[in-house]
Structure 1
Amino acid sequence: MRKWVPLCLAILPALAATAEANNLVSVHKNGALSPANFNTRAKAAIGDIHLATQTTEFYKIRYRSVDAKGRPAVLSGLLVLPHGGAPRGLIVFDHGTISHREAAPSRYTGAAKSSEEQAATLAFASGGYAIAMPDYPGLGDDKGIHPFPMARLSSPSSVDLIAPARAAAQQLHITVGRPLFITGYSEGGAIAMWTVRTLEQSPAMAAQLTASAPLSGPYDLSDVTPRSLLAPSANATVFAGRLYLMAYLMHTAYKNRGVKLTDYLAPAMALVVSRVFDRGLTDEVIVKRLVVTATLLRAKNSMDRLTTPRLREALRKTDPADPIMRELLENNCYDWSPRARMLLVCLQSDPLVTAENTHETLRAMRGRGVSLLTVQEHTLTSPTLTHITAIVPALLQARRFFDERGQTLSRTNPPQ
């Protein structure tokens, strides 16, 4: 045994140097999920089609990237690893909208909870995939302001997680296959789209990409998304969701760009928005406080009493002179030409991130000559699904698509 000690001591600096080169800062085990517990949850959530045969492990990783203003920062994320290895490759999953930093993926331990982290784990980990989930700037360990819904500004956290995730798996002696898949839901769908676009701008990074599946994302921030947020709704739950998203957008602009909230929101709502996102409250509590304020202002499920004419006009006219609209325009990500295979998934009846986001994206890509083979669309049509409950069906569509692409890749490039 002693003869191995010098060898191990010699290897450790090399592993540390490899981690440093891949921008990995640290790895910490959060917890593990036994096959029995995994399968009990999987059967309840997604049926018997994806069952685990090995322990699933959860690691918080910290890595070097940039914050919302492009400054160097150490960000956090979650790495999910099947203990026996992930021969089918690495999936980067970009989560949906949250403002409570302690709800970020890196905090997930494997405990039973209704969350995107659990849903993504159940959908992908049993198939031989490793999963990396960025927290994003302003969430998890980063103390800045999350730039919601500016996916271009959040996407570096996704791109920059790829190498550290692979380095962490190597450090843990868990083999992860070469294929790379990108997906994400809601806000994460747009971040996934920007991640793919960024990867394809670099020949070296584009060569890593196998396929992607952006799911129900707000790809058009300057037209489709504002129209849906401003639309009145007879459904109080839908209105509350739209109010939360609009308030979060305003808070981001206030904190990161210095806009004056009373230029865009009624004074009482501006006061609440300026404070409610900074107090470490859960998203559920934030929504309740926003709804109480809207009720006191007699909003009646309409944004008209909560917003100013300036905001409504800037959004309706797509006015680039307005600082908020200018940033929304800069973060659009629907009118471009992907090269790697892509599946777009949306919910036809989604009132929060409308299906028109996906339909318009597909029309724009087809107008640029992107073929049916390169980009496909799948629309979930069940009338019982909501934006929240559609995540599992959307993830299963992504899983099937990734499985098919991986099998095609294996046939095209068989092991040597």
Structure 2
Amino acid sequence: MKSEQFMLRVFLCFFLLLSCCFKAHADNLVSFVRTSTMTVADANARMKKLMKGFAPAPATRPIDLYKVRYNSKDEKNANVVLSALVALPRGGAPKGLVIFNHGTTGDRAMSPSRWTTKMHIGEAQWGILNYATGGYAVAMPDYLGLGDHAGPHPYPLSDLNALSAIDLIAPARTIATKTGVAVPAKLYITGYSEGGAVAMWATKLLEARGVAITASAPVSGPYDLSNTTRKSIAAPPKTIIQFAAQLYLLAYTVRYFHQTRDVPLTDYFTPRMATFVKDLFDKGWSDETMIRSLLLHAYSLGANNNLDKITTPRFRKAMAEFDSSDPVIQELADSDCYDWSPKTKMLLVSLENDDVVDAVNTKVAMDAMRARGVTPTTLRQVVVSDSRLNHLTAPMRLLAITRKFFDGGFAGAGA
């Protein structure tokens, strides 16, 4: 009798273990832990400060923040564990789930999963304040190479980073279920800057898988890397902000290909600049410190707000002529995401005078999609014209428009 009871317990333990393993495989969830809670008062104070006259309705519920670890794939299709942040309004998220994709950062400390209510900067709070305060669950991937993942960040390859967003959907819903937060099936996709391109790719890939998306709102994304963005990087900068952006984004891009494809940095940068770029992103510095250091080093080499003194003639020629034999330029072309036909209701939001991601990216996407027969029933745009704003100061204004779109459709956003 005891032997039979022992065998029964062994069988039950094995069955439970097998069930748990299947569940983890089924929804990609590895683990989650609550890291902080944003009170109603805190949320409303932050909205008043950051969003001013265009803040949505005040928050009415506390918002619990969870650091998540989940399974995904890297650029070689190998299994990896990534990290993310999930924000859940207490008592339920009746409007659905928003996947919010953040912009470019080389600072792991700014990854969404590292964000808590003790912090007052970082893009994670953009997602929380714009969506979670209004009854949406919000999931924010860190991406490959950020957060807890030690590998390189595949910048600016948004098709790869989109997998980080897609694979987070099921874990986010599982966490909501486990914590008693009801979230309907409605799914929204958005993101800013690099995250805008990630949102565009995620929408395209999810549609290809037959996943229903309620609405998509990419914001100020570099959708046209091979032409508009390439020309923007190569063009003489008009301001120090534009030069800093060119330098930082080019360094980030080339270093990724150096790490993953053995592309020599000296094919792109002069020797002294290449040496500086090689270890820049391994120092644990903030984005601000990295950009300042890049600028100072470039100036010491005679750059004077121009890339010519610190990049190679070969690379400048390849950029000017769109030489697809160059692996970086070819990858830019492969990562374009504008010439397709979305079926999801999509609102493209941009800043007319954007000094980092040229608004022509959005125009190119609109024109290409219209040429493919995508009508205003499915696709529209909002272009914000405000000379007081730039790429760094515009996000909350632009994202507030996406919230209105998610709440009330094209009419709600004034599109």
TM-score, normalised relative to structure 2? 0.92
For 1:50, the aligned partner's letter is A
Which residue of 198, 209, 233 corresponds with 2:205? 198
- Structure 1 position 19, deviation (Å): 4.5
Among the aligned pairs, what percent are the same residue? 45
Are 2:321 and 1:317 aligned?
A: yes
Contact 1:18 1:167 in 2 (8 A): no
For 1:167, the aligned partner's letter is T
Contact 1:68 1:145 in 2 (8 A): no
Which residue of 271, 275, 283 corresponds with 1:279? 283
Q: Deviation per CA, 1:256-292, whole angstroms, max 9, x where unpaired?
A: 1110111111111111111111222211111111111
Are 2:33 and 1:28 aligned?
A: yes
Are 2:60 and 1:53 aligned?
A: yes
Contact 1:23 1:64 in 2 (8 A): yes
Are 2:156 and 1:144 aligned?
A: no
| Structure 2 match to 1:43 | 48
Contact 1:19 1:168 in 2 (8 A): no
- Structure 1 position 112, deviation (Å): 4.0
TM-score, normalised relative to structure 1? 0.92
Are 2:377 and 1:373 aligned?
A: yes
Contact 2:96 2:184 in 1 (8 A): yes
Which residue of 100, 103, 121 corresponds with 1:96? 103
Question: Secondary structure of 1:300's partner?
Answer: coil
Runs of 4+ displaced beyond 4 Å: 12-17
Question: Secondary structure of 1:304's partner?
Answer: helix
Contact 1:79 1:133 in 2 (8 A): yes
Which residue of 87, 95, 114 corresponds with 2:94? 87
Contact 2:405 2:411 in 1 (8 A): no
Q: Deviation per CA, 1:88-116, whole angstroms, max 9, x where unpaired?
A: 00000000000112220001112241221
Which residue of 104, 110, 127 corresponds with 2:134? 127
Q: Deviation per CA, 1:311-362, whole angstroms, max 9, x where unpaired?
A: 1222222222111111111111011110010000111111110000000010
- Structure 1 position 49, deviation (Å): 3.2
Question: 1:53–1:407: structure 2 CA closer, same or farther, 3 Å change rule?
Answer: farther
Aligned-residue CA RMSD (Å): 1.9
User: Equivalences for 1:57-76 in 2 at 5 Å?
Assistant: 57-76=64-83
Question: Secondary structure of 2:203's partner?
Answer: helix
Q: Which blocks of at least 5 consecutive residues in structure 1 are unaligned?
A: 1-8, 409-416
Provide the C-alpha distance between the structure 2 equivalents of 1:150 and 1:365, rounded to a whole number of angstroms.
Answer: 21
Provide the C-alpha distance between the structure 2 equivalents of 1:51 and 1:251, rounded to a whole number of angstroms.
Answer: 43
For 1:37, the aligned partner's letter is D
Provide the C-alpha distance between the structure 1 equivalents of 2:304 and 2:140, rounded to a whole number of angstroms.
Answer: 38
Provide the C-alpha distance between the structure 2 equivalents of 1:272 and 1:385, rounded to a whole number of angstroms.
Answer: 32
For 2:285, the aligned partner's letter is L
For 2:358, the aligned partner's letter is T
Provide the C-alpha distance between the structure 2 equivalents of 1:99 and 1:69, rounded to a whole number of angstroms.
Answer: 21
For 2:375, the aligned partner's letter is S
| Structure 1 match to 2:162 | 155
Question: 1:307–1:346: structure 2 CA closer, same or farther, 3 Å change rule?
Answer: same
- Structure 1 position 134, deviation (Å): 0.3
| Structure 2 match to 1:168 | 175
Question: Secondary structure of 2:116's partner?
Answer: coil
Q: Which blocks of at least 5 consecutive residues in structure 2 are unaligned?
A: 1-12
Which residue of 215, 219, 222 corresponds with 1:215? 219
- Structure 1 position 170, deviation (Å): 0.6
Provide the C-alpha distance between the structure 1 equivalents of 2:133 and 2:121, rounded to a whole number of angstroms.
Answer: 18
Are 2:246 and 1:239 aligned?
A: no
Contact 1:50 1:122 in 2 (8 A): no
